[in-house]
Structure 1
Amino acid sequence: MTISPIEELNAAIQSYNPFPTGAAVVREQDVWEQGFPDVTTLNAHASDAVYQAIDRVHHARSAREKVTSMVIIAYKGVGKSHVISRIHHRLKADGSALFIYAGVETYDIKFVNYSFLQTVADSLNHNGSQGVTQWQEVAAAMVNQVGRNVNSDAEAIPAKDLVEKYSQTENNNWVDDLVAKYRRIRRSDPDIIRAIFWTLSENNSDFAVKWLSGKNLAEVRANAMGLPNPSTEKNYQNAEAFKAISQILSLVSEYKPLVICFDELDLDSRVDPESGLTRPQAIAALIKPLVDDIQLSNQSKGFVILTVMMPDTWTQKIKFMSGVPDRVSKRGEPIQLTFMNGDSIIQLVSLWMKEFYQSSNLIPHSPIYPFEENQLRDLGRNSDSSARRVLTWCSENFKIAGVTNIQPSENIVELEDCVEIDFVEIEYNRTLIAIENSIATLLEEKITLAEALWLGFSTIIGQKLENVKINSLEKIKCSASEKSYSLDFKIIGEENGNPVKIGVMVLQIPGGQGVQAGLKRLIDYQRFEITRGCLVRSKEINPGATKAQGYLSDLLSPRLGGEWVKLTGDNIKTLVAIRSLYCSRENYDFTEAAIFDFIARKKLVVDNYIIREILSDPSGQVPSNLSEE
């Protein structure tokens, strides 16, 4: 092994800083995919406690002992989400448990059950340890149980083989046959059983997962798959969602232990005016019946609920809720994460530098160069040395002491060109990648999409765009039962000197009564005090839906002068990324002004297609190339 010349090491250091601000902020993408370098000994007591809990519920003899829960507390940047990421990657590697990650910052706390059902369905649609999705792993285990029930000597068929087999089967009778045989073994909800089996068919898997998440399918698709569409009334959906969650968790845990992680409870301190609960309290109120009410068999492999939060969230918002704390943490007192010391800081920096040097095909004389050991140990003497703070310090001090006149190669950027790093842009780009990976799911989330549009317009208040000067925005109140088909907000301004009030409605539910009800509201200009209605939607509206089509014709008519703006992932992802970054700004120590300045400099809002289309003169036309309902 030959040590690389110091000149080459220095040139590499001058070319690229591997420690951007915010690098230690673990996102949902990092939880599911390969995340950051992990010092496995750091806060190992917390992750080990989870592994031990999995083993206990797995081997517990009584159904009453098959569910447990625990809480991890730590201050910002200490590594709560990083521990979750570590746990997931271990479980995926050894196949010892299935995994659900609930980042609850986007939950509508009025409808927590429904939001969590979507989390369960989406999480189990991530790949597990067998090279297929976790849903497909469960479905394969169910198929193999059916086989053993017929022939006790039957060999288990690998999940990949079953996916290949049923993806190529044109006759759908196999689903009916499997449902009938499985129901002789376990009397679970036949529709949920059917949907899980459908995940083995690649052509139908996405639709099955969509149905399992509580969303409607197009009527033709639902009929073909034999799945009934649920009501779109939100209160009913929320109540039914918990029944579905109970059935799914009970069934899934028959085959493998299950770990459910609740994260991002602390990002929103607002109180819901109807329930009087904060976001952490609403999640705690969800966990209580998960622990108390889900029926498991003595053969179940059980499940573990892990919730991570700030210490003040536990002591001030959860601990004094009646009958709740001992359900949120059956284990007892929360597990406290610790700050880093000199040894763990050196290990962490060594891991980051190892990746840096390996990517450049270099071998350093010291694994932490250009840092010195005494510098890093000094950091460890601080009482609040979090991983995030250490990596931020590394970012700011990643330079060569006393070295000048380094001649970089032609592919290396001069150091002077690297000094002005836009950390907001770095995090925006990372956020955008995460959004792109989940855009299909996000296109179904009306609240998230509407909030993204609202935030976008709020950054250009006072400006003139498409001949409309935006003076203010106003949210439109509605009852909880109308949320999925309500107007979201109105843009108040002036167009060519005349007052204008544009009512904006994101309407992503499939056809049916919900679409009809939404369009009926959108054309009620007098009730909502608007001069123009704007429908934002990616899906076609069933030509056979007579009333809905009539309301749509009214909206687009010259009399009402409304607009249908086509929603696409490419056009909305920028705004959703802005919203996500804005909501998480405290994690990165970004100010609102810094984010708004970045948005303005990059013209992320003023050049956005959807923003401009909402403001532009209505075409009166139905958009082309809409997606299937």
Structure 2
Amino acid sequence: MTNNTSSIDELLKSHNPFAGHMVVRPQQIWGKSFPDVPSINSHASNAVFDALEKINQGQYQTVGITITAEKGLGKSHIISRIRHRLQPQDNYVFIYMGKYDNLNQIKYEFLQNVASSLRAFGKQNVMQIQEIAASLINEAIQRKYSPQQYISDIYPKWLRERSNKFIGQLTQAILKHKPEIPNPYIVKAILWTLSSDHVNYASYWLSGLELSQTYTNAMGLPNIKSNDKEIVSMNIARQLLDITNYYKIPVICFDELDDGNISDFGLTTAQVIATLVKDLYQSIKRGVLLLAMYPDTWNQQIRVLPQAEAVIDRLVSEQPDRQPIALKYLNSDDIVNLVKTWLQDFYQENQQTPPHPLYPFDAGKLKVLGKSKPTVRSVLKWCADNFIDEKIPNPDPPIVEIKIYSVKPYYQSELVHTQAYIDSLIEDESIIAQSLKFAFERLIGKTIEGVTIEKIEEIPNQKHIDFKIVGNQQQIKIGVDVVQIAGGVGITTALRKLIDYQTFDLTRGCLVRSKTIAASATLARENLRRLLKEKGGEWVSLQSQDIKPLIAIWFVWNHREIYELTDDEIFGFIEQQQIAINNPLIREILSDPSGQEPDNLTDEDLPMRIPQSVVNNRVIELNL
């Protein structure tokens, strides 16, 4: 490592490790997170670990824990710590929910979060659901093969020799061993996750989503159709958790409960989730249910619920005073340890040895901060603002340069974050749609590709078209829909909306998508043909390099209060850097349609990349 103050100072001028890192995002809970100081608020994370130990010992079955803290005090940091501490262990499964799009269908959304969480990698470097699948098989047929062996060797051999019939045989063997499992199709879908060619579709089915008939026939799974999606979703979620519980204790975390959304029944997000957790407490075999919220949310929303006592008993089930666990403000030692840990990670990554562990900060100044009892977020913000950074050379810079300078480090940091997690972000239709809409709103009054943008509208009472671009004195009305879902009724319905120009007052429908649409999806393909050939619509290819800057600047704007940035500063930065006006995706949406399918798409049938390194690569013979 380099030990040269001048080279370190050069590094500090161009890299501020604290800028833009005041918010813990879901991707950081699952993947690489912020540097953690285990001693900070250890009482909260230790409560979870202690509860798990007691469940392991049979003292408890299910434990409800609620953490309360003011904004920026570190609730999500604690959840991230718990996830990363549990990941190297075999006997726990981590489930996270931090986004609530539709409070009226919360059980359906919960199922989707359970299924997506089970796709995250566990200790064995495969998905958590694949670990469970391997355990089910091993127990039923008395083997000890790893998930990697099933993925790499056994399943490909069985598929070659027996086609898909072996999944049915395995399912029967498992049900004979565990007759209490009520739904054989859930077992079958779990088993299909060990097939590289079928894992995406099996996970999709387990999420409660409808597959095309081609895939359901191939895997022997029915499409679940019910007028009451909530009941069906909760049944699947409970059964998934019950099967998981044979081998692992679930830790189910509910974060970001203070968003201010209201259901059709007048309940807030926290109230809806509290009611859901009460039901889960009663129905799951064992596990930890963890909630994080503001103190005001607890006092003003949870304590006023009907039957509040019953809810509270389950949300803080083992707290002797029946109160949530409150996080503490940082003291002087906490602040020094926090900054030291962040800087140690930064210097190691850049192969530098600083003059002292806190360089360029002074320990005395950091300790003074502790007297005001700050939050983690405020300390990181102070470090970002007081870090050595490149200076604007002009002693009296114009106002617009000040705006650019204040936004730039946060934008760069968000860009790095977006790049690191682009594979998951590009699958998030909501984030892509909101980023695009935000960018188009910055272009009102501009003329691009012959379209003078007048306004951006939302279309009420429908769930598919994300927004409408109105321009050229109402002569152009482009309905934009981001659709990343795999083949099935979802893409069919989306395309049907995009070609219904009369109902939605459109002159053009625009599909934004990075994946092909399978030839077997006949209804979707017919709607696509009408969009492109009859309706003068367009299919714009979604490319990661085009959407990344739009997502990054939308993240900056979304966190503007935390970063202490104004709308004018952010909007000025967007205009000066031409982030929106010169974006290829923006321009392609506005340009004249080609009438052709894009040629730079990814194959929607392409199997997900799964680690296939196994110690023994021989073909394994098994008798069913």
Structure 2: 5+ residue stretches without partners: 395-401, 606-624
User: Structure 1 residues 551 and 200, CA, compared in 2 at 3 Å: closer, same or farther?
Assistant: closer
Does residue 1:163 correspond to 2:151, yes or no?
yes
Per the alignment, residue 576 of structure 2 pairs with: 601
C-alpha distance in structure 1 between counterparts of 2:451 and 2:482, whole Å: 20
CA contact (8 A) 2:16 2:409 kept: no
For residues 229-240 of structure 1, the aligned pairs below 5 Å read: 229-231=223-225, 236-240=228-232
| Aligned-partner residue type, residue 236 of structure 2 | A
User: Structure 1 residues 461 and 182, CA, compared in 2 at 3 Å: closer, same or farther?
Assistant: same
Q: 1:423: how far off? A: 2.7
SS at match of 1:491: strand
Does residue 1:396 correspond to 2:382, yes or no?
no
CA contact (8 A) 1:508 1:537 kept: yes
Per the alignment, residue 373 of structure 1 pairs with: 363
Deviation string 1:50-88 (CA, Å, 9 cap, x unpaired) is: 001112223336xxx522211111112211111111111
For residues 340-419 of structure 1, the aligned pairs below 5 Å read: 340-359=330-349, 363-364=353-354, 366-383=356-373, 385-399=374-388
Does residue 1:315 correspond to 2:299, yes or no?
yes
C-alpha distance in structure 1 between counterparts of 2:522 and 2:22, whole Å: 53
For residues 164-563 of structure 1, the aligned pairs below 5 Å read: 164-169=152-157, 170-171=159-160, 172-186=164-178, 187-231=181-225, 236-266=228-258, 268-272=259-263, 274-294=264-284, 296=285, 302-323=286-307, 324-331=311-318, 332-359=322-349, 363-364=353-354, 366-383=356-373, 385-399=374-388, 420=405, 422-439=408-425, 441-442=427-428, 445=429, 447-478=430-461, 483=463, 486-494=464-472, 499-509=475-485, 515-541=491-517, 550-557=526-533, 560-563=535-538
CA contact (8 A) 1:218 1:510 kept: no
CA contact (8 A) 1:424 1:595 kept: no
2:590 to 615, 619, 629: 615
RMSD of aligned C-alpha atoms?
3.2
User: Structure 1 residues 94 and 601, CA, compared in 2 at 3 Å: closer, same or farther?
Assistant: same
Deviation string 1:580-609 (CA, Å, 9 cap, x unpaired) is: 443343333333333333333333322333
User: Structure 1 residues 161 and 539, CA, compared in 2 at 3 Å: closer, same or farther?
Assistant: closer
Q: 1:544: how far off? A: 6.4
1:50 to 43, 48, 51: 48
C-alpha distance in structure 2 between counterparts of 1:424 and 1:312, whole Å: 29
CA contact (8 A) 2:415 2:548 kept: no
C-alpha distance in structure 2 between counterparts of 1:546 and 1:158, whole Å: 39
Deviates more, 1:358-367 or 1:93-102: 358-367
C-alpha distance in structure 2 between counterparts of 1:563 and 1:414, whole Å: 44
| Aligned-partner residue type, residue 99 of structure 1 | F
| Aligned-partner residue type, residue 373 of structure 1 | A
C-alpha distance in structure 2 between counterparts of 1:471 and 1:247, whole Å: 51
C-alpha distance in structure 1 between counterparts of 2:483 and 2:70, whole Å: 39
Q: 1:373: how far off? A: 2.7
C-alpha distance in structure 2 between counterparts of 1:498 and 1:96, whole Å: 60
User: Structure 1 residues 99 and 514, CA, compared in 2 at 3 Å: closer, same or farther?
Assistant: closer
User: Structure 1 residues 97 and 509, CA, compared in 2 at 3 Å: closer, same or farther?
Assistant: closer
SS at match of 1:94: coil
C-alpha distance in structure 2 between counterparts of 1:327 and 1:570, whole Å: 46
C-alpha distance in structure 2 between counterparts of 1:546 and 1:223, whole Å: 15
CA contact (8 A) 2:210 2:489 kept: no
Per the alignment, residue 151 of structure 1 pairs with: none
C-alpha distance in structure 1 between counterparts of 2:527 and 2:423, whole Å: 35
Does residue 1:74 correspond to 2:69, yes or no?
yes
C-alpha distance in structure 2 between counterparts of 1:563 and 1:594, whole Å: 34
2:78 to 59, 83, 92: 83
User: Structure 1 residues 4 and 161, CA, compared in 2 at 3 Å: closer, same or farther?
Assistant: same
Q: 1:513: how far off? A: 5.2
| Aligned-partner residue type, residue 372 of structure 1 | D
| Aligned-partner residue type, residue 317 of structure 1 | Q
C-alpha distance in structure 2 between counterparts of 1:19 and 1:513, whole Å: 45
TM (norm. structure 1) is 0.83
Q: 1:388: how far off? A: 1.9
Q: 1:435: how far off? A: 4.0
SS at match of 1:535: strand
CA contact (8 A) 1:166 1:201 kept: no
C-alpha distance in structure 2 between counterparts of 1:10 and 1:506, whole Å: 44
Q: 1:13: how far off? A: 6.5
| Aligned-partner residue type, residue 328 of structure 2 | T
User: Structure 1 residues 96 and 415, CA, compared in 2 at 3 Å: closer, same or farther?
Assistant: farther
TM (norm. structure 2) is 0.84
Q: 1:335: how far off? A: 0.6
CA contact (8 A) 1:69 1:304 kept: yes
Q: 1:456: how far off? A: 2.4
Q: 1:185: how far off? A: 2.1
C-alpha distance in structure 2 between counterparts of 1:545 and 1:133, whole Å: 28
CA contact (8 A) 1:15 1:414 kept: yes
For residues 85-164 of structure 1, the aligned pairs below 5 Å read: 85-104=80-99, 107-148=101-142, 156-164=144-152
Per the alignment, residue 398 of structure 2 pairs with: none
CA contact (8 A) 1:536 1:564 kept: yes
Q: 1:436: how far off? A: 0.5
Q: 1:14: how far off? A: 4.6
User: Structure 1 residues 138 and 528, CA, compared in 2 at 3 Å: closer, same or farther?
Assistant: same
Per the alignment, residue 33 of structure 2 pairs with: 35
CA contact (8 A) 2:68 2:293 kept: yes
Deviation string 1:100-135 (CA, Å, 9 cap, x unpaired) is: 12221x533233222222222222212111222211
User: Structure 1 residues 357 and 564, CA, compared in 2 at 3 Å: closer, same or farther?
Assistant: closer
SS at match of 2:21: coil
Deviates more, 1:17-26 or 1:189-198: 17-26
CA contact (8 A) 2:8 2:352 kept: no
Deviation string 1:185-210 (CA, Å, 9 cap, x unpaired) is: 22242121112112222332233222
Deviation string 1:294-333 (CA, Å, 9 cap, x unpaired) is: 4x3xxxxx21111111222222222212233333333331
The number of equivalent residue pairs is 582
CA contact (8 A) 1:46 1:72 kept: yes
Deviates more, 1:254-263 or 1:582-591: 582-591
C-alpha distance in structure 1 between counterparts of 2:460 and 2:392, whole Å: 52
Q: 1:528: how far off? A: 2.2
